[in-house]
Amino acid sequence: MQFSIGSEIQDWFGKPLSQIGGDYIFTAGENVKTVPPGVRMDVGLTTQEYRESSGGYFNLMELSVLNPSRDKEVNIEDAIVVSVQADSTLLMIMPEDLSTFGENTYIFPKGLTIYDTVERMKELYGEPDVVEEGDFEKKYAYISGDKSLSIFVYSDTISSFLLQSFEEPEYVVAAHQGSKDFSKELNEESFFNIGGYHLHFYTPLREVKEALQLVHAPINSEDNTDSDQVTLAPGEEITYVGTPRGFDNLAVAVRIHNLTDESINVQDGVVTGMRVQLLRKNYSLMEDHLFRIPFSSQPPPKLYAEYTMPAITPLGIVLGGDVEESLKVIPDDALEKELLDDGGGYATYDANGVRYLVMGRAHEKGNVIDELTMILFLDDIQ
């Protein structure tokens, strides 16, 4: 995707900040120098001249950059550009001596500029794919594959634009490609397919942590172990909750049990229960960011990778799938199975010493399955 600053065509998307050219300065909040794995972060773009002229209060543009690595932090300059935003306010406050910038400085695809009308926008692009109308501002979005152009309008005049790319990093694509097969029946051999990894009962905790690259993320007081030194007494159990590195929208909880007659290290305890849960309620990154203006001067208190590692559980129920369609695959002789009036629903299904819990909730952007649990009843198995 290209746009113009003055007469110069810019092709920044997918490139590291260090390769976009120009004498630009990048800022991302006080003392922020790196981008964590899998994280999109807002970055301000300015020049030394403009910083001095504006008193340091404004940026020429606001960008978002992505660290496409799952394993390591990168310097801000090495993160790749995934969104570009410009606002008419900046044009009004730009000093005259910055001749590169001025009215109609920003020109985006097909020649549309800030201060153009909605009529002109529709002449060039046709009817928008998404429209949000407020009391004073209207928002329009055009979507093509994993690219979007969002346009913000006051009094029928374009005031700002936001170009974005939602192309997924390679590690996210790989996780989705591996998430195809699932357990056809519910029994002791059933598994959760999490990003291509088959999580089975009786798997040692250390294997689960390594395979999913889990980062400890306790949700409540019972999720209380992150130490390799914790000891489990015979018969003792404990819950470990983590998020797969690079997929911070997914919590994976495993109930760890010592099934031996001796005390063991918690890492040698084995899985007797498992749960996958969506932590945030927007499941599409594009939906979440479509009209979100980058604002580099106020970074969020915690930067997180917004991707969701896919999970398919027994009978083919998909985390994030439609509630009504998912409940249809649960047998009618389940202990509980109910579709709620608000669009949510739940089910409890026991078979062959295993309990399967399905929970879906109604959300503004769709009724989806957001929590799935499978528990082994040891008394029935042993």
Half-sphere exposure of 282 (CA within 13 A, CB side): 10
At residue 215, does pLDDT exceed 50? yes
Cα separation of 168 and 146, whole Å? 9
Least confident of 4-13, 153-162, 277-286, 340-349: 4-13
- 140 to 121, 287, 361: CA distances (angstroms): 10, 13, 29
Confidence of residue 283 (pLDDT cuts 50, 70, 90): low
User: What are the E-state strand segments in 292-367?
Assistant: 311-313, 317-318, 336-339, 345-351, 354-361
Q: How far apart are CA 330 and CA 299, in angstroms?
A: 43
Q: Which residue has the higher pLDDT, 58 or 115?
A: 115
Report how far residue 92's alpha carbon sits from residue 373's, in angstroms, rounded to the nearest whole number: 55
Neighbours of 22 (CB within 10 A): 12
DSSP 15: S
What token pair was written down for 134?
């407020």
- The predicted pLDDT at position 325 comes to 93
pLDDT of residue 263: 95
* pLDDT tens by residue, 50-79: 666 666 656 778 899 999 999 899 999 999
Tens digits of residue pLDDT in 310-356: 999 999 999 999 999 999 999 999 999 999 988 899 999 999 999 99
Structure token pair of residue 167: 């192309």
pTM of the model: 0.83
Amino acid found at 59: N
**How many alpha carbons fall within 13 Å on the CB side of residue 148?**
25
pLDDT band, very low/low/confident/very high, at 93 (cuts 50, 70, 90): very low
Residue 311 tokens, joined: 């999970």
Given a cut of 80, whether residue 282 has pLDDT beyond it is: no
Q: What is the mean pLDDT of residues 200-221?
A: 85
Q: Determine the pLDDT at residue 104.
A: 44
Among 198, 169, 115, 166, CA closest to 288: 166
pLDDT 10s digits, 217-236: 665 545 555 566 788 999 99
pLDDT at 96 over 80: no
Q: Give 204's pLDDT tier (boundaries 50, 70, 90).
A: very high
| Residue whose structure tokens are 């120009």 | 22
pLDDT at position 377 over 70: yes
Using CA atoms, how far apart are residues 134 and 295, in angstroms rounded to an integer? 21
- Better-scored residue on pLDDT, 173 or 9: 173
Find the helix or strand (DSSP H, E) in which 161 lies. strand 157-165
Least confident span in 295-299, 341-345, 374-378: 295-299
**Spans of all domains in the chain:** 3-167, 171-286+294-381
Mean pLDDT of the chain: 84
